Structure 1
Amino acid sequence: MRLEASALAYGYREREIGRDIALDLAGGEVLALLGPNGHGKTTLLKTLLGLLPAKGGTLTLDGRPLAAMSVGERARALAYVPQVHAGTFAFAVSEVVLMGRTARSSLFAAPSGHDRDVVRAMLDRLGIAHLAQRPYTEISGGERQLVMIARALAQEPRYVILDEPTASLDFGNQGKVMNQIRRLAGEGLGVLFTTHDPNQALRYADRAMLLRDGRALASGKARELMTPERLAALYGVAIETVRGEDGKLAFLPG
């Protein structure tokens, strides 16, 4: 079970954003895609999900070319969690999570009893069952992000891809979301998330890729890869290291 890219070029019809990307994601591990805003992380995610066609190289999912797979096949394997958003329509939280079940049935099919059971299980799993009947537009940002993760898990995917999952969240909710990411990997899912915070990559990822100007500066085991020198090259600022009272290393802009 593996998502793999080799010599991958990506971008839009009118222009290339990045190239020469080599990555792989196996079940049970967390890969962090780390870099400044505006340097191609989200465009790369859309390519890995099959939302944008690759402009070169190879991209395979469990040994099959991603481009040869149907939308339904990709949706049953790959789940996407976008950056937290307020939403437009006041759907109940349970109905938002239920939308994830369309990957397992026809878009216009009535939800089955099993679909409803899966929704309840995902809400329980993320500790938000009490929000089931609340309007999605009236819950907090951290709660909305947990709902988006529950919707993704309702697809029963093999891989979960998250785009800056803690953007705009307060400190406490950041911890809740990142702990869920580790839990997913512990249950055998492959997890990829983007971030511009090296401390998240250091603490929660098994491996990391440093992306700048659409190119990978380096990739490898997160704890070995993350050095002040590499992070300074990635962000263009001096980086300092500190250790907390718990002995854990953290990075700060110098």
Structure 2
Amino acid sequence: MEPLLCAQGLVAGYGPSPVLQGVDLTVRAGELWAVLGPNGTGKSTLLRGVLGVLPWTRGSVRLLGRERPEWPPRALAQHVAWVPQTFEPAEGFSGLELVLMGRSPHLGLWGLTSERDVALARAVLEELDVGYLADRPGEALSGGERRMLLLARGLVQQPSLLLLDEPTAFLDVAHQVGALARVRARVEAGLGAVAVLHDVNLAAAFATHVVLLRDGRVLAQGPVEAVLERERLEALYGLPMETALAPSGVRLFAPRAR
């Protein structure tokens, strides 16, 4: 099966000093990759480079079997959805209207949404357990509520590949779990996804694969159960870690008190 994403030898950054130092990453349908690493190590840069928002200086990126520079923006947006880390202005829009922006790549010449588009947006809001936000004005949204609407906007886009930059930021524990559970359910139905995360335990619970980035280089990557080991996490974050096995069989990790 053709990978949804294939990045090879990616070198990218801001100004003369690259942040990424030759990163390889291949993502297939049915895989949820978590990107873990210290602050400033290139996690968001990786996603921006893949999208072409941040030009890379060396390497290559293929999306759905096609070189990234060959994709027209509208066609790319019909297949790849981006859930950014930062918020965009929401004032003047309702929650439903913000989510419906995700349908833009699929609309006709006049850019008018149909009853089907509205029904799809409402269904995604209900799926994420935030249907009550449909009529909430943008200026009345909390940070967590905006985060959930950004995720809903990405899902309503109906992509083949979903790229999420810190999708659990600003969310309480219940919504962190709920959001990643819905993404994982979509992945099991054939979606491919890459999520920048800071919580190792969320990665262990929901991701199928993980890539560990440190100083712009891949420290390790592969299936979660093979990569998430105490020694690797200690090398990744530069601090001692404790690990335990939950009754469910999921391994738990925590920094060791000094």
Normalised TM-score (structure 2): 0.90
Matches within 5 A, 1:41-190: 41-83=43-85, 85=87, 87-105=89-107, 109-190=111-192
Gaps of 5+ in 1: none
CA contact (8 A) 2:128 2:178 kept: no
Give the Cα–Cα distance (whole angstroms) in 2 for the partners of residues 124 and 176 of structure 1.
Answer: 12
Give the Cα–Cα distance (whole angstroms) in 2 for the partners of residues 86 and 59 of structure 1.
Answer: 27
1:5-40 Cα distance to aligned partner (Å, 9 max, x none): 111111235431112211111111100111011111
Give the Cα–Cα distance (whole angstroms) in 2 for the partners of residues 248 and 115 of structure 1.
Answer: 38
C-alpha deviation, 1:246, in angstroms: 4.5
Corresponding residue SS for 1:251: strand
Give the Cα–Cα distance (whole angstroms) in 2 for the partners of residues 64 and 165 of structure 1.
Answer: 27
C-alpha deviation, 1:172, in angstroms: 1.7
1:194-240 Cα distance to aligned partner (Å, 9 max, x none): 11222122111111100011110111111111111111110010111
Determine which of 217, 224, 227 is the counterpart of 1:225: 227
Give the Cα–Cα distance (whole angstroms) in 1 for the partners of residues 127 and 149 of structure 2.
Answer: 11
Gaps of 5+ in 2: none
Q: Once the two structures are aligned, what percentage of the paired residues are identical?
A: 39
Give the Cα–Cα distance (whole angstroms) in 1 for the partners of residues 203 and 20 of structure 2.
Answer: 21
CA contact (8 A) 2:94 2:135 kept: yes
CA contact (8 A) 2:144 2:169 kept: no
Corresponding residue SS for 1:46: helix
Closer/same/farther in 2, CA of residues 84 and 56 from structure 1, 3 Å limit: closer
Tell me the equivalent position of 1:204: 206
C-alpha deviation, 1:87, in angstroms: 4.5
C-alpha deviation, 1:129, in angstroms: 2.5
CA contact (8 A) 1:9 1:20 kept: yes
Moved over 6 A (4+): none
Could you say what the CA RMSD is over the residues aligned between the two structures, in angstroms?
A: 2.0
CA contact (8 A) 1:77 1:158 kept: yes
Closer/same/farther in 2, CA of residues 114 and 65 from structure 1, 3 Å limit: same
Query: What one-letter code is carried by the residue in structure 2 that aligns with 1:211?
Result: L
Closer/same/farther in 2, CA of residues 176 and 50 from structure 1, 3 Å limit: same
Give the Cα–Cα distance (whole angstroms) in 2 for the partners of residues 48 and 19 of structure 1.
Answer: 14
Normalised TM-score (structure 1): 0.92
Query: What one-letter code is carried by the residue in structure 2 that aligns with 1:154?
Result: V
Determine which of 15, 22, 25 is the counterpart of 2:24: 22
CA contact (8 A) 2:90 2:98 kept: no
CA contact (8 A) 1:208 1:222 kept: yes
Give the Cα–Cα distance (whole angstroms) in 1 for the partners of residues 249 and 28 of structure 2.
Answer: 30
Corresponding residue SS for 1:110: coil
1:101-124 Cα distance to aligned partner (Å, 9 max, x none): 111236862323333233233223
